[in-house]
Amino acid sequence: MKWVLLIVGLLIGAIGGAGGGLYLVERNKAAAQTDVVFAQKNFFDGEEMIGASGTMTGAGIAYPNNSYSIGCYRDRKECWLTSVEQIGRNLMGRMDALYAYEISKWTPHEVIAGADGSLGGVKTTITIGRKTQDVLWVEEPVNQTQPRCKNADTKIRKYSFDDSPGWKKIFGKP
């Protein structure tokens, strides 16, 4: 009798484990299908205005499913940036207010803008390749001797704009 109970228990456990595994696989498929899908990378280059949008990618991004948009205006000598991020399953963060970066260089090949980091201890440099249609975003620590920077990150971080993870998944891009 003990052997029969053992075999029945093992069968029930195996069936329950297999059912639980199938449930988790299907749940994860459903979760992946409900992720927010942001549009693909976009670039516009006019004589007096340049625009780029896409997902900021790179090591250390807190929320990898995001969308950034930057518009640079030659006459204003500024680039304006805004962003929004998926902060959880079916959960979006607030859309950021416009943030202005001063343009330091505007040539037929590139536009460079940034912030000196005097307030936050991080210097931001944004380089937009007009011919390559790429955006490189670099953050580097500055003013590290200030008391407010004692716990600041000391790594140089590099990011770029790319297609969103959901867009790549839908259209099979690596």
Q: Looking at the structure, do residues 96 and 64 belong to the same domain, yes or no?
A: yes
Has residue 61 been placed in a domain?
yes
Query: Is a pLDDT exceeding 90 seen at residue 58?
Result: yes
What's the pTM? 0.76
Is the separation of the CB atoms in 157 and 136 below 8 Å?
A: no
Contacts of 79 (CB under 8 A, 6+ apart): 70, 71, 72, 73, 100, 101, 103, 111, 113, 126, 128
Range of the domain at 122: 42-166
pLDDT digit string (tens) for 72-100? 999 999 999 999 999 988 889 998 889 99
Query: Is a pLDDT exceeding 70 seen at residue 118?
Result: no
Total structural domains within the chain: 2
Q: Looking at the structure, do residues 25 and 50 belong to the same domain, yes or no?
A: no
